[in-house]
Chain A
Amino acid sequence: MRLIILMLGAFLLSACYEDTDVTMHKAGVYKGKEDSHALSAEERAEVLKQRFNSVQTDR
């Protein structure tokens, strides 16, 4: 019985843990996941330029 109470107490106290790591704010420094792309920026720009010329220019 005492063992069970001790184990229960330890379990309940474990919920009191508080993460002390502080995330510091730095304006303009992105902290999220990295956004990866299949094509490089130059290749993408060329593809999108062709797309623009085919669908958005004046008729």
Chain B
Amino acid sequence: MARMKFLCDAERCIECNACVTACKNEHEVPWGINRRRVVTIDDGIPGEKSISVACMHCSDAPCQAVCPVDCFYTTDDGVVLHDKDICIGCGYCFYACPFGAPQYPQEGAFGARGKMDKCTFCAGGPEEDNSAAEVEKYGRNRLAEGKLPLCAEMCSTKALIAGDGDIVADLFRSRVVRRGGRPDNWGWATAYKD
């Protein structure tokens, strides 16, 4: 069975932020929420590296373990999703996540913390596939349409790859062999323990 994973090739990422824009546009993510962001390490110093970070859909997701209302589930594809109807916006998942993936919109007149929002691997949520409710709460469900996450599909340098972990690993391995050096599959040791 496929196990969906993200991989950002730091040697290829040019910090164009197109993945961030594509995600926001595709899912109509509200102001103040970034499901994906590009982080640059040693910015301005020769040898700087950029990586595109979002929910890594961990194999043993810490967010899922700490959620007091058990609103998280892992699909057969290995995608970690949550039910916004149950989420109480407590923020525990934010503290547990090593990637800072969970985001909270400000709601109401006093800007109270709303229900958690995060990358869905373009797999929507527990509502009916691509129904109005699913699109409104979670964004589009591209996986149900036979497509992969837009952030990866439109990455111009193919730095961000998304798909079955085995295929992604094979592709990355062939790149490392071709260019030499050490593999730097950022975040995998943290996200995918098995």
Cα of A52 to Cα of B171 in the assembled complex, Å: 11
Chain A contacts of B174 at CB under 8 A? 58
Chain B 70-85, CB-CB to A under 8 Å as 1, else 0, gives: 1111011100011101
Q: How many residues belonging to A are interface residues under a CB distance threshold of 8 Å?
A: 30
User: Do A27 and B65 touch (CB < 8 A)?
Assistant: yes
B177 at the interface (CB under 8 A from A): no
Given A30-B73, A41-B2, A52-B163, A35:B144 Cβ within 8 A: no
User: Do A57 and B82 touch (CB < 8 A)?
Assistant: no
Cα of A44 to Cα of B148 in the assembled complex, Å: 11
> In chain B, residues 113-163, which have Cβ atoms closer than 8 Å to a Cβ of chain A?
125-129, 143-144, 146-148, 152-153, 158, 161-163
Chain B interface size, under 10 / 10 to 19 / 20 to 34 / 35 or more: 35 or more
A3 at the interface (CB under 8 A from B): no
Q: Which residue of A lies closest to B12 (CB)?
A: A58
User: Do B81 and A35 touch (CB < 8 A)?
Assistant: yes
User: Do A49 and B64 touch (CB < 8 A)?
Assistant: no
User: Do B153 and A35 touch (CB < 8 A)?
Assistant: no
User: Do A32 and B158 touch (CB < 8 A)?
Assistant: no
Of the residues B77, B83, B126, contact of A44 by C-beta under 8 Å: B77
User: Do A48 and B71 touch (CB < 8 A)?
Assistant: no
Chain A 26-59, CB-CB to B under 8 Å as 1, else 0, gives: 1111111111111001101101110111011111
Q: A49-B163, A58-B158 are in contact. List 12 more A-B contacts (CB 8 A).
A: A25-B68, A25-B69, A31-B70, A32-B86, A35-B126, A42-B1, A44-B77, A44-B146, A45-B1, A48-B2, A51-B163, A56-B171
B residues contacting A by CB (< 8 A) are: 1-2, 4, 64-65, 68-73, 75-77, 81-83, 85-86, 125-129, 143-144, 146-148, 152-153, 158, 161-164, 167, 171, 174-175
